[in-house]
Structures are given as C-alpha cells and as structure tokens.
Structure 1
Amino acid sequence: MLGLMVALLLMCTAFPAGAETGEKSQAIQIPNPSADLWREVRQREALISGKSQVKGVDSGTLINPYGQQWREFRMSQLIPYGGYFLAGVLILLALFYAVRGKVKVNAGLGDKKLFRYTLYERMIHWFIASVFLFLAITGLVLLFGRSLLIPVMGQAYFSLLASACKEGHNLFGPVFAVALLLVFIRFVRRNIYQKGDLTWLLKGGGIVGKGHVPSHFFNMGEKSMFWILVLVGAVIVGSGLILVFPVFGQARMTMELSHVSHAITTLLMIAVILGHIYIGSVGMEGALDGMTTGYCDLNWAREHHAEWAARCEQEGEVLTESEVARLRGERMAQASPPGVQEVGQ
C-alpha cells in the first residue's frame, strides 16, 4: 500500500491535472510587492524613505541611491580627471620655464633695500604655507594613493600611511581655518583693487613679454591670488568642517556634496599654489627675498612694484645692506634675553 501511494504521488507530480485533457500547465503569476520599490532604486531618481522611531536626519531613509552616484563620480571622474589636471599644470609650468626662463632683474640686484614685510607677516605667511602643504600632501595621498601607491608599497603599508594621513588631515584642517583668518585680517587692506591693476593684467605683468608694468605694493596677480586663497579657501574650510564634524545635523547627501566641493576646490587651490611656488623659487629673481629676510632689492621693486618703490624713495625709506644688518642686529638684541645678549656681546 505504501508503494502504491508513492507511485500515485509521483504520477500526480509528473502528470498534473490538465495534462489528460491536452491543456498546458500555466504558473500562477503572483506580483512582487517590492517590484516598484526596486524599480525606483534602479532608476536612482529619489530617496526611498520610511518611518522610524529612531530620531535622526537620515533615520527614515531606507535607501540612498545618491551614494552610489557619488562613488561612481569619485572613481570614474574625480580621480582620473583631477590627476590629469594637476599633471597638466606641472607640464605647463615646465614648458613655460623652458620658453621664458627665469625673469631677471634688468638692472641687476644692488646693495639698496626696501623694508617690505614685518616679522609677523612673514610668520603667518609661512604658517599657512606649511599647513596647506601638509594638508595638500595628505589629501592627495587619500585621493590618489589607492591607485598609485598600492602597486608600489603594497596594501599593508599603504593602509598605515592612509590612516596616518587621514588623522593628520582631520587634525590640521581646523588649523588652516585659523591661519586663513589671520592672513585675511592682516593683508586685506593692501589687496583692494586699485587703478592700474587691470593694465598690469592686460600686459601680462611683465611675466609674459618683456615690458615694464608698474604696480602698487601688490600687483594684480598677487591680489587675485589673495582673493582666490580667501574665497576658495573659505569653501575648502566650510566643506572640510562638515566632513570632519558630522554633528551639525547634516544628511548623507550634504556630506557627499561637501566631499565633491572640497576635492574640486582643493585641486584648484593646489594649482594656484604651484604657480605661486614657481614664481617665488625659479620663476623670478628676487621674488622670495621679502618673505625670507623682510627686505627686497630696490631694483627689483622698481621693476615690479614701481609706484610703491617711488613712494618709498620719496619718503627716504631706502636702506643700504650695512643699515639692514645693523637694524637686524638691534632687533635680535632687543628680542634676546639679557643672559643671551651678554654672551653674544
């Protein structure tokens, strides 16, 4: 009886009802209740929201399709095109140097000096420069390191480097905000655009071509770089604070947009700073003296900041190298403790 029952069950399974009448069996179509949900997810058109007792900005968001869009943009567009952009800037600077060469002082460097920057101004300049270079290097490691450094140093060592860069980047990011504020307060008055700045720009500032273009204490190029530093730097600081301190009530979408704006503006700032470093190092003779010693050469000032140099000469502010050395010695003596001064004497 058991065998007959098993055989009958197998026959019913193999030949369902309707086979005897020649009718084809048809599967019962049951609609998937989640079909519309996943169709919207695949289209990436909107957030899928629900209700939750957990209180938070994104607690009611079940699926955020924009996260995938952000990831695809970062991997397929931001990283490769950002790398091409920086490489292009370096190539253009190298080609420009090969064609133009170093901008020399036509009259040559002499023994007459003009006082240009105070000690405090030089300190905040190098302060923001060092902090920005550190943030730029650590940020570039985090952005390009996975594709460039892992093949060289391996995943284990890169993970240590990336972790250290991330912690250092987050730590010194707010420091850059403080440095930017100090630079703005100190230099904003001398970076207001004046009459003649547009002429300087149209003539290439003496960098493009051989013409002499007079300017004030800061020329149009230096003023433009200052405002790029302030305005673009403000975006970098604002987006960085949103990324570092996720306690402002920002949603994930806000974090994604902040990451994109932070990366793009930082790449732009790095390109501008590369041009600034080029001019201050190999691009122009005498350009770095003011920020290293506080004094600039008189002939250099006449050729690059003629209106400011003429005013200084009229007011009798021209100094010789011996006078500059004497003033430095007096400042060092005043800044040194009594015991140190006695040993020096």
Structure 2
Amino acid sequence: MEPSRSEGFSSAILNLFSYQPLISWLLVASVFGVILTLALFVVINGRSRLEHGYSGIPIRRWSTRSIVAHWLGAIPCLFLIVTGLVLGAGKTFFDTQSNSWGTVVNLASDLHEFMAFPFMLGGLAMILMWWQQQRFVRYDLDWFKQFGGYINSGQPKHPDAGFSSGGEKLWFWVFSFCFLVLSVTGLMLFFPAIEPGYSLAPLVIAAHIGSAMVLGAFAVVHIFMAAIMSEGAMGTMINGHCDSNWAKQHHNRWFETIKKP
C-alpha cells in the first residue's frame, strides 16, 4: 500500500528535522545571529536618542496588571528560549559524551516544561488585555516605510504612531500566532492523552520548532529595541511610566490624546 499524501509529507518533514546540524544552526541563528546583526546595526547607526532630552514629566503608560502579565510571560519566555537552545542545538555544539551533559539536558528539560505554564498564562493575559490596541491603521504603513524613524541618516523622521507603533503591533501579532502554535503543540507533546500519532508527530514537532525560531528572533528584536535602541523605553514596563518627550517622539498620536482634558 502506498503511503498517503499526509504520511509522505510527514516523512519528508521528519527527514528534514532529523538533520541535527541544520536545526541546530537555525536555532542558534534565530537568537545569536539576530543579536550580532542588531549589535552591528547599533555600531553603524547608533541609538535612537531623545531629541529634546528627558522632560522629567512622567506619563502613565502601563497599568500594574499589564506589567505583571508582561513579566509573567516574559521571564519564562527567556528561560524557554535558553532551554530550547540547549535541547534543540546542544548535541551539535557540546560534547554529549561528557559526564555533565546528561545533567544539563535533564535540567534544561525540567525547566522547559516548568516554565511553559506561566508563559502560557502570562501570554494569554497579554493577548486578551492588549489585542484591541494592536489593530493596524493606515499610518502604520508609513511607520514601516520610514523604519520607525530609527535610521540616523540625514534629518531624523519620526512617523506617526498611536499607543502602539507599527513595529510593536507586528511583534504583538507574531507573538500571538507563535504563542498559539507553541502552546497547542507543546501541550500535545507534553500530555500523553493528546499525544499526536506517528504520522502527525513530525508536523507537530516541526511547527513547535519553527514557531520557536520565529518567536526567539522577534523576542531578541523586542528586547533590543526596549533596552538598547530606544532611549527612555525600558522604564515604561518597569514602573509603568514614560517620559513625556519619549511619548511625543515615538507615540505622538497617543500623546495628543492624553493631552486633551
């Protein structure tokens, strides 16, 4: 009996993902490759500075509930990325015959499983609370055309942005999609009762690894933009406030709405 089309496709996926060096390098590139690219960008382009410095006038941007949900999802996400790299790429880059390898893998596996559940809780909370603010509008297209105003060549341009910029909205929807795929496939791989059959297992594993690569790459960009590239951005998700000059420069349309009585 000839294999069905779905079985043939699953077999092809399994063969692809059985080539460990390829998967390992793709996983590493999705994190460290992006880090190196962004570091080079900063060296050449420089950071995005506040044109008029800090005003000293704080504006409330995030509620306490939003801050808690963000870190409930973000901290486990970092652990999942690191442990996922160990589990998915460790065999290629480390000596698997060493005495410590088994300990490292077991620890990474346990942490990966443990951190998955707070990640899902925090991620779901963020999606439910924020999705209405993340709908694309016409001026978001200009934000992308001008690269958010982060290219420091010639006269600085800061395109229009509401509460969330076009780039932040893109990150939100990429996160939401990858979150859904990772959660569903992760639960299928974790619980024996819903474990996929042999023909579906390669597709589930491929979807899990592929979405993890995309999420990891975008997460690195998100951290980079908040912590390094955009002066004044990091504190907004720590204390919930931003400087008025930062809001005016990066989220001018939102700033205009909160100025109104």
Q: Is TM > 0.5 for Structure 1 vs Structure 2? A: yes
Q: CA deviation at 1:100?
A: 1.4
2:7 match: none
Q: Which runs of 5+ in 1 are unaligned?
A: 1-39, 48-64, 316-345
Pick closer, same or farther for the CA change 1:249–1:293 going to 2, 3 Å. closer
Structure 1 counterpart of 2:133, one-letter code = R
1:314 aligns with 2:260: yes
Counterpart of 1:181? 124
- Matched residue, 2:23: 78
- CA contact 1:192–1:223 (8 Å) conserved in 2: yes
Distance 1:187 1:202 in 2: 24
Alpha-carbon distance, 1:256 to partner: 1.9
- Give the superposition deviation at 1:133: 0.6
* 1:134-283 equivalent positions in 2, closer than 5 A: 134-150=79-95, 155-209=98-152, 210-248=156-194, 250-283=196-229
Who wins on radius of gyration, i.e. which is larger? 1
Write out per-residue CA displacement over residues 165-189 of structure 1, whole angstroms, 9 at most, x where no aligned residue.
1122123223322222111111111
Which 4+ residue blocks in structure 1 deviate beyond 6 angstroms? none
Partner of 2:37: 92
The structure showing larger relative contact order (alpha-carbon pairs under 8 Å, at least 6 residues apart) is 2
CA distance in 1, matches of 2:110, 2:64: 31
Separation of aligned partners in 1, 2:31 and 2:67: 28
Q: Deviations over 1:276-327 (max 9, x none)?
A: 1111111110011211111100011111011111121222xxxxxxxxxxxx
Post-superposition Cα deviations, 1:123-158, rounded to whole Å, max 9, x if no partner, equal 11111000101111111111111222327xx62211
Give the AA of the match of 1:193.
F
Pairwise CA distance, 1:70: 3.7
Q: How does 1:50-65 map to 2 (within 5 A)?
A: none
Q: When the two structures are aligned, how many residues end up with a matched partner? A: 253
Distance 2:213 2:150 in 1: 24
Is there any run of 5+ residues in structure 2 with no aligned partner, and where? 5-9
Maintained 8 Å contact 2:161/2:250: yes
- How far 1:81 moved relative to its partner? 3.4
Maintained 8 Å contact 2:27/2:85: no
Amino acid in the other structure paired with 2:198: R
Contact 2:161 2:253 in 1 (8 A): yes
Pick closer, same or farther for the CA change 1:255–1:171 going to 2, 3 Å: farther
3-state DSSP of counterpart to 2:192: coil
- Could you tell me how far apart the structure 2 residues matched to 1:72 and 1:196 are? 41
CA separation in 1, counterparts of 2:23 and 2:3? 23
* Aligned with residue 249 of structure 2, among 294, 298, 303: 303
Q: Partner amino acid for 2:230?
A: M
**1 CA distance for matches of 2:118 and 2:17?**
31
In structure 2, give the amino acid aligned to 1:101. G
Would you say the 8 A contact 2:17–2:206 is kept in 1? Answer: no
C-alpha contact 1:67 1:253 (8 A) present in aligned 2:
no
Give the conservation status (yes or no) of the 8 Å contact 2:73–2:123: yes
Task: For residue 76 of structure 1, report the CA deviation from its aligned partner.
Answer: 4.3
Structure 1 residues 68 and 127, CA gap change in structure 2 (3 angstroms): closer
